[in-house]
Amino acid sequence: MTVYLNTRFIKKSEATISIEDRGFIFGDGVYEVWRIVNGQLFEHARHLARLERGLRELRITPPAEATRDGLLAIAERLIEDNDLCEGEGTLYLEITRGVAPRTHHFPATAPAPTVFAFVNRFVPPEELRARGATATMLPDVRWLRCDIKTIQLLPNVMAKQQAQERGAVEAILIRDGVVTEGSHSNVMAVLDGELRTHEANNLILRGITRDVLLEIAQAEGIAVREEAILESDLGRVSELFVTGTTTDVTPIIRVDDRQIGTGTPGPIAKRLYALLRERMGAGARQAVSATG
């Protein structure tokens, strides 16, 4: 497997970073995950815009890789070298503040950011998407800047692990009585005929899939409201689903012991999933280029 690290394309086994990397020491960095479909990055521009915003918020000087062309060049080479021109995959990109002796404050002279990227094959679990999945509710114990896609994911990791131990595919996080999002996905519900999801503020990561689905829903004439679903409303929702780059639209048919809706994937989730897949596949089968 070929990976990218600090301007070089190298074998995964040869990729090493410094023990003084601030990503390693402090989780001081950001990341992105793109879906690759037949060699193309899905919604490239939106992921890049979110990455740029994250770097700005953390005051990390954007490296050359965090540009449209810089990123496409890396993606193209990784996709080719790792045999991902056909089928589906993901591109992971991480940028940390770089290497410096450990101090909490930023180094006086900004080090060159560490830039690391790799691709993986991804086969969407169609059967799970069709059958529906179970989720578990957990308290959202994260910080108040969930809008930045930082590599500090320990609360997300702990929540997902707990979900797994309970036999659930995702943890639905609750803060102050409202559903914020999942451990690695956004949460949507259908309530009183409206598609509802948490507003894009500091309490959630504004998912690219979320935004694309809201656009699709509006174009389909589905009423959309960006307002949090209350924990106490979960018993009344007719549909619940989680969304994300590796989650697509996954219907949730049970939350802990509570059945959601009819206990089967609902019509809006199914329709949105079909339309999302259509949009992902559109115009594919060329060399790497941006779709967004």
Please identify, using beta-carbon distances, which residue of 136 and 186 lies nearer to ligand PDD: 186
Question: Can you give the length of the chain in residues?
Answer: 292
Least Å distance between CB 277 and ligand PDD? 14
Least Å distance between CB 86 and ligand PDD? 22
User: CA-CA distance, 144 to 15, in Å (whole number)?
Assistant: 33
**Secondary structure E strands in the chain:** 2-5, 8-11, 29-37, 40-41, 88-96, 114-121, 133-139, 170-175, 178-182, 186-191, 194-197, 224-225, 239-244, 248-255, 258-259
- Count of Cβ atoms closer than 10 Å to residue 249 Cβ: 25
Please identify, using beta-carbon distances, which residue of 25 and 205 lies nearer to ligand PDD: 205
Of 237, 218, 234, the closest CA to residue 226 belongs to: 218
Question: Where does this chain bind ligand PDD (CB under 6 A)?
Answer: 33, 156, 181, 184-186, 205, 207-210, 244-246
Please identify, using beta-carbon distances, which residue of 99 and 208 lies nearer to ligand PDD: 208
Nearest residue to ligand PDD on Cβ basis: 207
Distance of CA 62 to the CA centre of its chain: 20
Please identify, using beta-carbon distances, which residue of 100 and 290 lies nearer to ligand PDD: 290
Read off the tokens for 229: 């679903």
Please identify, using beta-carbon distances, which residue of 88 and 181 lies nearer to ligand PDD: 181
Read off the tokens for 74: 């890396």
User: CA-CA distance, 239 to 194, in Å (whole number)?
Assistant: 10
Least Å distance between CB 205 and ligand PDD? 4
Q: Among the options 11, 12, 149, 160, which is catalytic?
A: 149
* 21: helix, strand or coil: strand
Read off the tokens for 2: 């070929």
For residue 149, indicate whether it is catalytic.
yes
- Catalytic positions, please? 149
